[in-house]
Amino acid sequence: MEKISFFSADFRDGRIRIGNKTYPAGTFAAHLLNQYYKNDTAARISAYVMNNWAVQKSLTKGYLNARLLKKTGEDILEILNALPKLKPFNQFDIESERQLISETFTEENGDYIVEYFRRKSFILAMDDGAIVNDLSPEYDEDLFNGAEELLSLIWQKLYFYDDISSQMREAFDGLIEFCNRLDEAERFDEPHLLPIALDIFGNEKLDITSEFVAMRKTAKSKTMVTARRMFFDNYYSFVLTDFFEGLHYGHYPRRCPICKRYFLMTSARRQVYCNGTAPYTLKGKPITCRKYAARMKEKELSEGNPINPIYKSRYSAIRVEQKRSTITAEFAAMARKVAKEYWQKAKYDDNYANGQYKADMKRENLYMETDRRLKQK
């Protein structure tokens, strides 16, 4: 079977370029995780494989139902309605593919192939049929060539659209498992994440061919750099390459516990929440998941742990002492600065908030540190 040259993408420095757009490697894996159930993308793509299978089965046996062929074409057109919701298919020329499908999967073409099958089986049924092929009155060179070409195109499309749903499913399941197992990693970097990824996806060989090409490092730069151009035979190879290339650069998908969407982490920091818009508002205004989480944590801390009251009372004590001239204005300003640092640290660091924070905020300790800093000046 002739391989489908599906599409190509350029890789360089942890970025992937398709057409004239570039993305951090790993973007498409994270996108699949979010898009799979959204708008029923996967369901709409996988719901139409039934007729496809029936046509494949009948073609293998050497017959065809022309109406079924047309029906399968209609199913593929349905898939083409959903496919552009999945990146990178949104960048493809869906309209010309749509046209090719409507022109190929017709009842007329079905009848044409049936006629070819009829003639061919007649010839094959004759004694020495294969040898006297072109002597038979049933043989028609144009008809045979045309039908064989048409069949090859039909097979190609049947395979592609049949596979795309199973490949989506396989990649999706694996990526979900990866996200669920993230916490097994001691650190979120390539050496710690790669074993999990390989355990899930194995050392499977992907259908890829590649070559080196020259490209501009950025859209504005004049110098050229080397990039790897990869050609993918199918969606699975593409999305897995994107995922592994991302891992190599420390990018990995993870799920935001607040909005439940997947996002691509591009640093080894243990960032848990995404930068997207949270499903909640704060005082009626939209807020990011990260900010929302920080606010919740603040609230939790101020309820369970008195970091705010400690800070507030220390702050007003400094003001009182300044008023009474027990301390200078310069000293008071530095003391407030130091106290604010401790308070901010306590907000983001639970261990500190529950331990050293209280001691640091005591008058004598705070003033000792203030004194030390003023002397450093």
Nearest approach, Cβ of residue 276 and Zn ion (Å)? 5
Residue 216: partners with Cβ closer than 8 Å, 6 or more residues away: 222, 223, 224, 225
Could you give the maximum distance between any two Cα atoms of the chain, in Å? 120
Task: Report whether 324 contacts 317 (CB < 8 A).
Answer: no
Nearest approach, Cβ of residue 168 and Zn ion (Å)? 23
Residue 289 found at the interface with Zn ion (CB under 5 A): yes
Nearest approach, Cβ of residue 289 and Zn ion (Å)? 3
Between 14 and 276, CB nearer to Zn ion: 276
| Alpha-carbon span 180 to 16, nearest angstrom | 25
Task: Report whether 25 contacts 13 (CB < 8 A).
Answer: no
Between 286 and 355, CB nearer to Zn ion: 286
Nearest approach, Cβ of residue 292 and Zn ion (Å)? 8
Pairing status of strand 208-216 against strand 285-288: unpaired
Between 171 and 258, CB nearer to Zn ion: 258
Show contacts with Zn ion in window 207-236 (CB under 5 A).
none
Between 110 and 253, CB nearer to Zn ion: 253
Residues that contact Zn ion, how many (by CB under 5 A)? 6
Residue 274 found at the interface with Zn ion (CB under 5 A): yes
* Contact region with Zn ion (CB under 5 A), list: 111-119, 270-278, 296-304, 306-314: 270-278
Between 171 and 278, CB nearer to Zn ion: 278
Nearest approach, Cβ of residue 366 and Zn ion (Å)? 37
Phi, psi of 12 (to 5 degrees): -165, 130
* Terminal-to-terminal C-alpha distance of the chain: 77
Tell me if residue 17 falls in helix, strand or coil: strand
Between 64 and 258, CB nearer to Zn ion: 258
Between 196 and 259, CB nearer to Zn ion: 259
| Alpha-carbon span 270 to 282, nearest angstrom | 24
Between 228 and 291, CB nearer to Zn ion: 291
| Alpha-carbon span 357 to 368, nearest angstrom | 15
Residue 123 found at the interface with Zn ion (CB under 5 A): no
Number of other CB atoms surrounding residue 41 within 10 Å: 19
Nearest approach, Cβ of residue 275 and Zn ion (Å)? 8
Nearest approach, Cβ of residue 90 and Zn ion (Å)? 23
| Nearest alpha carbon to residue 7 among 180, 239, 315, 223 | 239
Nearest approach, Cβ of residue 258 and Zn ion (Å)? 5
Between 34 and 305, CB nearer to Zn ion: 34
* Contact region with Zn ion (CB under 5 A), list: 10-18, 245-253, 283-291, 327-335: 283-291
* 12, containing H or E segment: strand 7-12
Measure the CA dihedral 249/37/230/196, to 10°: 40
Residue type, 4: I
Residue 264 found at the interface with Zn ion (CB under 5 A): no
For the record, the structure tokens of 187 come out as 């650190």
| Nearest alpha carbon to residue 10 among 264, 248, 245, 251 | 245
CA 15 to chain centroid, in Å, comes to 13
Residue 33 found at the interface with Zn ion (CB under 5 A): no
| Alpha-carbon span 2 to 20, nearest angstrom | 29
Show contacts with Zn ion in window 242-261 (CB under 5 A).
256, 258-259
Nearest approach, Cβ of residue 28 and Zn ion (Å)? 19
Site string for Zn ion, 75-114 (x = CB under 5 A): ----------------------------------------
Residue 293 found at the interface with Zn ion (CB under 5 A): no
* 212, containing H or E segment: strand 208-216
Nearest approach, Cβ of residue 256 and Zn ion (Å)? 3
Between 263 and 311, CB nearer to Zn ion: 263
* Contact region with Zn ion (CB under 5 A), list: 58-66, 245-253, 274-282, 315-323: 274-282
Q: Where are the alpha helices (DSSP H) in 202-326?
A: 235-248, 289-304, 307-323
Contact residues: Zn ion, CB under 5 A: 256, 258-259, 274, 276, 289
